Structure 1
């Protein structure tokens, strides 16, 4: 289950990542508090989120091409140093303009950092341990988020947001130290793109020629758009048909976080990141989402949220695993950049869409409709992958060849 932790470089990275994620979420909380106290505008928060997301859509492909050409560790050290400076820039409190500038700069860094991080992470462990490493990374991210938000919630009331920004800046220093302490000779060597296949266009042609990857990305987009925006639908259900309180929303958020950790632990324990697991999980969480629209009360909704959150982590982790294992390593940065683009688009499209459905048709109808669509998408994806890979599920026919 914890085989990746036997690798020294991965242990260093996991510890640093836990600290960094905690610091990041402390800054998110402090920044939200700062914006609301300074402007009283939720729309300003939306603009900040948009400024962080847009660069990924515009520059992500070039970030992937860069990741496939240059060594990852020096780039990551530079990115972490710049992020630390951006966190310190928030201490200036120079008005909304500084916040917008930091958000935009963070989005630009994410455009290049995301593919580099994915490629670097896959070099830390043996290829057969990649699925477990990604699952453990998801657990650490969830734990860091819970810890960062909890500690930040206490500190922001006692000290104000400045301390949270300073702590986040220090957390990036922890990552830089970990990167310097790693033994490069123990890392798995990944091939780099040659001169004829380095560009963005070459990466796009490669992705478009991979039917399995395209199907997985399409399924990820549909489920990401309609099945991942529970921050929107949970709030609408609590405030509407469930007749809950702010405490009820806090309970559901906690249950969701616990489910995310359990899902990561389950996948790390089994190590089964196959296409069949991906499709089965997509179907189960879609059916559960449909059922959540029928939940009679907060506790019933919470009972469904727990496995949905666990399944969402399993699905997303298996998507990331298959995207990496089923593609050429010299194209990995650009393939991961494409996954990042799909994830960003699903958030940009899905959150307002789910919110509009909740307002126009009611949260129950929104969950029922979204669950029905994602269920159909899961079944359609299964049929398409069976055709592309030449295998079927036991209920259909015997497998022709060993699946991925």
Structure 2
């Protein structure tokens, strides 16, 4: 049962959109700079590849522990105030990282950052949905996607320039500032809604369980959305499994060095940016059913082309196709979610759907590593790509039936 919520009380919509996407763009660049800097910081502190691998696990563990109940909190609080608080906390945590002298303290800080990211994810989409009228959401989602994928291309490059001498402190400080700027952008934006406040029921656990039941009832009432979400999530799991072996694939199957692999990553980033720009320009004409179904099918076709490639340029072409249509599918599904799920319940729905997804990610990554060792990395990549194609083909059928 969709609820279309517009924002008629705040006429200067263009100014609000500029502020919102500017904050997202700045913090996204900081995020990708952070990804490079934190790896350097950990390897310099520990000289251990296993410690660097642990960086990935810490944030996932935080999401698994907090995810099941985070939506119950975010749905009941003012999203704007919560977003401001989260960004300020993240700025303080990032700024403290250079002073962490042991791996244990670094992991504690990263765990807290993972908690903040989980709460931010549950609060941001409902706030954006409330702020932006439904007629402008597709274009704004495409613009936001463009900035995020542009950050994916420019952020690591900037971090590399700032770390010419191997010092990761400056990129981390810039990332902290980016979160402060993001908090400032939310401070300038209007308060479009308030949370529902503390529940009348007594007992935190009973409240969370009741919220789960309510979320499941929403999903049962929107079965088509649930099916599409499950299929889209499955594709994400298969893609992440393949992504973890991407460096190995580039070296062993494509015989590329570090420069060649970096160029492939840049090609993918350019594809994602180009796809977001195309959707932004064609927002009024592009149908959601095509973006979700057709966009995802062409996206995974690009992945299959990449997995089957035996040359650099064919692999690069596959990644460009993957990027262009991957961003189109992402924009389409985000807009579809905003249409189908009440903003007052987005957090709760996210809380029941995200934790199982995290578990599947962990499981498939472990199985994928074992499969790549046993059968070869190309076999794993092709297998994951074929599973993606199968799921995307079903998505096309579901969108046509709707």
> After superposition, where does 1:101-250 map in structure 2 within 5 Å?
101-158=108-165, 160-184=167-191, 187=192, 199-229=211-241, 231-250=243-262
Q: Where does residue 347 of structure 2 map in the other structure? A: 333
> After superposition, where does 1:1-400 map in structure 2 within 5 Å?
7-158=14-165, 160-184=167-191, 187=192, 199-229=211-241, 231-271=243-283, 272=286, 274-338=288-352, 340-341=354-355, 344-345=358-359, 347-383=361-397, 385=398, 392=401
Tell me the alpha carbon deviations over residues 208-246 of structure 1, each in whole angstroms, 9 at most, x when there is no partner: 442112211211122111234554343223211222211
Tell me the alpha carbon deviations over residues 289-341 of structure 1, each in whole angstroms, 9 at most, x when there is no partner: 33333323111111111111222222223222212211223222223445544
Question: Shift of the alpha carbon at 1:49?
Answer: 1.5
Q: Which runs of 5+ in 2 are unaligned?
A: 1-11, 202-206
2:270 and 2:360 map into 1 onto residues whose CA distance is 23
2:72 and 2:113 map into 1 onto residues whose CA distance is 19
2:252 and 2:166 map into 1 onto residues whose CA distance is 35
1:139 and 1:343 map into 2 onto residues whose CA distance is 25
TM-score normalized by structure 2? 0.86
Q: Which moved more, 1:110-119 or 1:230-239?
A: 230-239
Change (3 A) 1:202 1:8: same
Question: Shift of the alpha carbon at 1:24?
Answer: 1.9
Change (3 A) 1:222 1:86: same
2:212 and 2:119 map into 1 onto residues whose CA distance is 13
Please tell me whether the aligned partners of residues 217 and 342 of structure 1 are also in contact (alpha carbons under 8 angstroms).
Answer: no
2:131 and 2:196 map into 1 onto residues whose CA distance is 16
Please tell me whether the aligned partners of residues 215 and 352 of structure 2 are also in contact (alpha carbons under 8 angstroms).
Answer: no
1:290 and 1:313 map into 2 onto residues whose CA distance is 17
TM-score normalized by structure 1? 0.86
2:181 and 2:394 map into 1 onto residues whose CA distance is 45
1:261 and 1:345 map into 2 onto residues whose CA distance is 30
Please tell me whether the aligned partners of residues 273 and 321 of structure 1 are also in contact (alpha carbons under 8 angstroms).
Answer: no
Q: How many residues align?
A: 382
Change (3 A) 1:190 1:85: closer
Change (3 A) 1:8 1:152: same
Runs of 4+ in 1 over 6 A off after TM superposition: 193-198
Q: Which runs of 5+ in 1 are unaligned?
A: 393-402
Aligned residue for 2:164, secondary structure, equals helix
Aligned residue for 1:160, secondary structure, equals coil
Please tell me whether the aligned partners of residues 114 and 340 of structure 1 are also in contact (alpha carbons under 8 angstroms).
Answer: no
2:119 and 2:309 map into 1 onto residues whose CA distance is 42
Please tell me whether the aligned partners of residues 129 and 343 of structure 2 are also in contact (alpha carbons under 8 angstroms).
Answer: no
Let me know the Cα RMSD of the aligned residues.
2.6
1:350 and 1:129 map into 2 onto residues whose CA distance is 37
Please tell me whether the aligned partners of residues 131 and 273 of structure 1 are also in contact (alpha carbons under 8 angstroms).
Answer: no
Please tell me whether the aligned partners of residues 25 and 149 of structure 1 are also in contact (alpha carbons under 8 angstroms).
Answer: yes
1:327 and 1:345 map into 2 onto residues whose CA distance is 24
2:308 and 2:166 map into 1 onto residues whose CA distance is 43
Q: Which moved more, 1:267-276 or 1:66-75?
A: 267-276
Aligned residue for 1:70, secondary structure, equals coil
